[in-house]
Amino acid sequence: MLVLIFKGLRKVVENIQAQIYTPLGHIVFYLNNVKIKKGFVVYGFMKVHVTRRGKVQIGESLKVNSGEYNLIGRQQKTIFWVEGDLKIGDNVGMSATAIICNYKITIGNNVTIGGNTVVYDTDFHNLDPKIRIYKFKDKNSAIKKPVIIEDNVFIGAHSTILKGVTIGQNSIIGACSVVTKNIPPNEIWAGNPAKFIRLLNDK
Protein backbone atom coordinates (compact mmCIF):
# COMPACT_ATOMS: atom_id res chain seq x y z
CA MET A 1 0.00 0.00 0.00
CA LEU A 2 2.81 2.39 0.93
CA VAL A 3 4.50 1.68 -2.42
CA LEU A 4 1.34 2.59 -4.33
CA ILE A 5 0.99 5.84 -2.34
CA PHE A 6 4.62 6.73 -3.03
CA LYS A 7 4.28 6.08 -6.75
CA GLY A 8 1.04 8.06 -6.89
CA LEU A 9 2.62 11.03 -5.12
CA ARG A 10 5.63 10.84 -7.42
CA LYS A 11 3.36 11.07 -10.44
CA VAL A 12 1.55 14.07 -8.96
CA VAL A 13 4.87 15.82 -8.29
CA GLU A 14 6.04 15.12 -11.86
CA ASN A 15 2.85 16.65 -13.25
CA ILE A 16 3.25 19.73 -11.07
CA GLN A 17 6.87 20.10 -12.16
CA ALA A 18 5.83 19.93 -15.81
CA GLN A 19 3.40 22.77 -15.15
CA ILE A 20 6.29 24.86 -13.76
CA TYR A 21 9.16 24.08 -16.12
CA THR A 22 7.23 24.29 -19.39
CA PRO A 23 6.00 27.89 -18.86
CA LEU A 24 9.52 28.85 -17.76
CA GLY A 25 10.83 27.25 -20.94
CA HIS A 26 8.40 29.34 -22.98
CA ILE A 27 9.69 32.47 -21.25
CA VAL A 28 13.34 31.59 -21.86
CA PHE A 29 12.67 30.99 -25.56
CA TYR A 30 10.58 34.17 -25.82
CA LEU A 31 13.36 36.26 -24.29
CA ASN A 32 15.66 34.84 -26.97
CA ASN A 33 13.16 35.76 -29.70
CA VAL A 34 12.22 32.13 -30.37
CA LYS A 35 8.60 31.27 -31.13
CA ILE A 36 7.41 27.93 -29.75
CA LYS A 37 4.55 26.00 -31.31
CA LYS A 38 2.00 23.84 -29.51
CA GLY A 39 2.96 20.66 -27.71
CA PHE A 40 6.22 21.93 -26.21
CA VAL A 41 7.08 20.25 -22.89
CA VAL A 42 10.27 20.59 -20.84
CA TYR A 43 11.37 19.03 -17.56
CA GLY A 44 14.18 20.96 -15.87
CA PHE A 45 15.92 24.25 -16.58
CA MET A 46 17.45 24.79 -20.05
CA LYS A 47 20.25 27.10 -21.10
CA VAL A 48 19.24 29.06 -24.21
CA HIS A 49 21.49 31.67 -25.80
CA VAL A 50 20.55 33.08 -29.20
CA THR A 51 22.78 35.91 -30.40
CA ARG A 52 21.58 38.86 -32.48
CA ARG A 53 22.63 37.00 -35.62
CA GLY A 54 21.07 33.72 -34.53
CA LYS A 55 17.80 32.39 -35.95
CA VAL A 56 15.78 29.54 -34.46
CA GLN A 57 12.74 27.77 -35.86
CA ILE A 58 11.11 25.03 -33.76
CA GLY A 59 8.21 22.82 -34.84
CA GLU A 60 5.37 21.30 -32.85
CA SER A 61 5.68 18.92 -29.91
CA LEU A 62 9.29 19.49 -28.87
CA LYS A 63 10.01 17.39 -25.77
CA VAL A 64 13.05 18.20 -23.63
CA ASN A 65 14.56 16.63 -20.51
CA SER A 66 17.21 18.76 -18.87
CA GLY A 67 19.54 18.40 -15.91
CA GLU A 68 18.37 15.92 -13.29
CA TYR A 69 15.47 14.89 -15.55
CA ASN A 70 17.91 13.07 -17.82
CA LEU A 71 17.66 9.85 -15.85
CA ILE A 72 20.46 7.95 -17.60
CA GLY A 73 23.30 9.86 -15.94
CA ARG A 74 25.56 12.84 -16.77
CA GLN A 75 22.78 15.23 -15.96
CA GLN A 76 23.80 18.42 -17.73
CA LYS A 77 21.33 21.08 -18.79
CA THR A 78 19.98 20.98 -22.31
CA ILE A 79 21.75 23.77 -24.16
CA PHE A 80 20.75 25.72 -27.25
CA TRP A 81 23.60 28.06 -28.25
CA VAL A 82 22.77 29.67 -31.60
CA GLU A 83 24.71 32.18 -33.63
CA GLY A 84 23.68 30.66 -36.95
CA ASP A 85 20.47 29.13 -38.33
CA LEU A 86 18.86 26.34 -36.27
CA LYS A 87 15.76 24.53 -37.50
CA ILE A 88 14.03 21.77 -35.52
CA GLY A 89 11.07 19.89 -36.98
CA ASP A 90 7.94 18.40 -35.41
CA ASN A 91 7.86 15.73 -32.70
CA VAL A 92 11.52 15.94 -31.68
CA GLY A 93 12.72 14.64 -28.32
CA MET A 94 16.04 15.24 -26.57
CA SER A 95 17.64 14.82 -23.15
CA ALA A 96 20.58 16.79 -21.73
CA THR A 97 21.54 17.66 -25.30
CA ALA A 98 23.89 20.44 -26.37
CA ILE A 99 23.18 22.00 -29.76
CA ILE A 100 25.90 24.48 -30.69
CA CYS A 101 24.96 26.22 -33.93
CA ASN A 102 27.48 28.67 -35.32
CA TYR A 103 26.46 28.19 -38.95
CA LYS A 104 23.53 25.90 -39.78
CA ILE A 105 21.90 22.89 -38.11
CA THR A 106 18.71 21.29 -39.41
CA ILE A 107 16.87 18.57 -37.48
CA GLY A 108 13.93 16.87 -39.20
CA ASN A 109 10.65 15.46 -37.93
CA ASN A 110 10.27 12.57 -35.47
CA VAL A 111 13.91 12.66 -34.38
CA THR A 112 15.01 11.22 -31.04
CA ILE A 113 18.28 12.47 -29.57
CA GLY A 114 19.63 10.41 -26.68
CA GLY A 115 20.95 11.78 -23.41
CA ASN A 116 24.12 13.87 -23.43
CA THR A 117 24.42 13.97 -27.19
CA VAL A 118 26.18 17.02 -28.61
CA VAL A 119 25.74 18.50 -32.10
CA TYR A 120 28.44 20.86 -33.39
CA ASP A 121 28.58 22.61 -36.76
CA THR A 122 31.98 24.19 -36.07
CA ASP A 123 35.51 23.28 -35.04
CA PHE A 124 35.35 26.16 -32.50
CA HIS A 125 39.05 26.88 -33.04
CA ASN A 126 41.51 27.31 -35.88
CA LEU A 127 43.95 24.45 -36.47
CA ASP A 128 46.87 26.86 -36.73
CA PRO A 129 48.42 27.50 -33.28
CA LYS A 130 49.67 30.90 -34.44
CA ILE A 131 46.07 31.97 -35.06
CA ARG A 132 44.64 30.39 -31.91
CA ILE A 133 46.51 32.84 -29.70
CA TYR A 134 44.24 35.62 -31.03
CA LYS A 135 40.81 34.93 -29.55
CA PHE A 136 38.68 36.87 -32.07
CA LYS A 137 40.61 35.70 -35.12
CA ASP A 138 40.67 32.14 -33.79
CA LYS A 139 36.89 31.94 -33.41
CA ASN A 140 36.06 33.63 -36.69
CA SER A 141 38.44 31.54 -38.76
CA ALA A 142 37.28 28.18 -37.39
CA ILE A 143 35.86 25.86 -40.04
CA LYS A 144 32.05 25.73 -40.06
CA LYS A 145 29.87 23.35 -42.09
CA PRO A 146 26.13 22.54 -41.89
CA VAL A 147 24.71 19.56 -40.03
CA ILE A 148 21.56 17.88 -41.31
CA ILE A 149 19.67 15.24 -39.31
CA GLU A 150 16.84 13.93 -41.46
CA ASP A 151 13.40 12.59 -40.47
CA ASN A 152 12.98 9.63 -38.11
CA VAL A 153 16.63 9.45 -37.04
CA PHE A 154 17.46 7.95 -33.65
CA ILE A 155 20.74 9.03 -32.02
CA GLY A 156 21.97 6.96 -29.08
CA ALA A 157 23.09 8.49 -25.80
CA HIS A 158 26.45 10.23 -25.37
CA SER A 159 27.03 10.61 -29.10
CA THR A 160 28.86 13.45 -30.85
CA ILE A 161 27.68 14.79 -34.22
CA LEU A 162 30.36 16.87 -35.90
CA LYS A 163 30.28 19.57 -38.57
CA GLY A 164 29.46 18.89 -42.20
CA VAL A 165 27.55 15.62 -41.80
CA THR A 166 24.15 14.50 -43.01
CA ILE A 167 22.41 11.62 -41.23
CA GLY A 168 19.91 10.08 -43.63
CA GLN A 169 16.30 9.43 -42.75
CA ASN A 170 15.41 6.47 -40.51
CA SER A 171 19.05 5.79 -39.64
CA ILE A 172 20.23 4.85 -36.15
CA ILE A 173 23.40 6.00 -34.41
CA GLY A 174 24.66 3.71 -31.65
CA ALA A 175 25.41 5.06 -28.18
CA CYS A 176 28.73 6.87 -27.63
CA SER A 177 29.34 7.25 -31.37
CA VAL A 178 31.31 10.06 -32.99
CA VAL A 179 29.82 10.91 -36.39
CA THR A 180 32.41 12.44 -38.71
CA LYS A 181 30.96 11.71 -42.16
CA ASN A 182 27.65 11.34 -43.98
CA ILE A 183 25.40 8.43 -43.10
CA PRO A 184 22.97 7.17 -45.77
CA PRO A 185 19.28 6.56 -45.04
CA ASN A 186 18.10 3.34 -43.39
CA GLU A 187 21.44 2.29 -41.90
CA ILE A 188 22.84 1.57 -38.43
CA TRP A 189 26.21 3.11 -37.56
CA ALA A 190 28.21 3.08 -34.34
CA GLY A 191 31.69 3.61 -32.93
CA ASN A 192 34.42 6.22 -32.74
CA PRO A 193 34.59 7.21 -35.49
CA ALA A 194 31.15 5.85 -36.40
CA LYS A 195 31.21 3.05 -38.97
CA PHE A 196 28.57 1.13 -40.89
CA ILE A 197 27.10 -1.78 -38.89
CA ARG A 198 24.25 -3.01 -41.04
CA LEU A 199 21.18 -2.02 -43.00
CA LEU A 200 18.23 -1.12 -40.82
CA ASN A 201 16.06 -4.07 -41.88
CA ASP A 202 18.80 -6.72 -41.96
CA LYS A 203 18.90 -9.28 -39.16
Average pLDDT of span 48-62: 96
Sheet containing 104-107, strands listed edge to edge, beginning at the edge strand earlier in sequence: 55-58, 85-88, 104-107, 147-149, 166-167
pLDDT at 75: 78
DSSP string, 66-102: -GGG-TTS--PPPEEEESSEEEE-SS-EEES-EEEES
pLDDT in tens, 77-122: 999 999 999 999 999 999 999 999 999 999 999 999 999 999 999 9
Would you name the residues annotated as active-site residues?
125
pLDDT at 194: 96
Contacts of 189 (CB under 8 A, 6+ apart): 171, 172, 173, 174, 177, 179, 183, 195, 196, 197
Parse the chain into domains and list their residue ranges: 2-196
Architecture of 2-196 per CATH?
3 Solenoid (2.160)
pLDDT at 203: 63
pTM of the model: 0.89
pLDDT in tens, 134-175: 787 878 888 899 999 999 999 999 999 999 999 999 999 999
